[in-house]
Amino acid sequence: MFWLGITFISSHGVGGGKMLILDLLFRDGAATAQDILVRIGGPLLMAIAGAAGGLFAPSLTIGAVMGSFMAQIVWPHNHHLLIMTSMISFLSGFMQTPFTAFILIFEMTDRHSALFPMMLSSAIAVGTSRIFHKKSFYDLVKEDFLHQHHKASK
């Protein structure tokens, strides 16, 4: 029932987002405000429900949709660069893993000419994220796992 509601709001709401990213990056697709809401709402509801939904693909898709939407408003003549840097920024900010995010998008797009903007967006996103929380997502998960393991061993 949930997926039916998501599909009703936006057809881009179902799936991992690979086809949406390909459409935005390589086929000149455009994202809407509904796409942003669906792409953020879906993983958020899955996390609240306790279901495993992955981290990389949803983060990359949210970044791509947000970048595409912003590119339509701010910088339409070079929207591919804004989409790539938004994907890197969102993943870097969420995971606080700038090198992983940068290399992942760099390998996926093979855009050597965008090397500096991609690295810069990753660094800015991690710096901004650390203002709000000093620890990375992986550190938080590790601490939670160790805490649960410690409670179970008592």
Per-residue pLDDT tens digits of the chain, which is 154 residues long: 444 445 555 556 666 777 888 888 888 778 888 888 888 887 777 777 767 667 788 888 889 999 999 988 987 788 888 999 999 999 999 888 888 888 888 888 887 788 889 889 999 999 999 999 888 877 887 888 888 888 877 6
Give me the phi and psi of 145, to 5 degrees please. -65, -45
Number of residues that make up the chain: 154
Q: Which tokens hold the place of 134? A: 């000093």
Residue 59 C-beta-side C-alpha neighbours within 13 Å: 19
pTM (two decimals): 0.79
Q: Are 7 and 13 in contact (CB under 8 A)?
A: yes
Name residue 126's amino acid: V
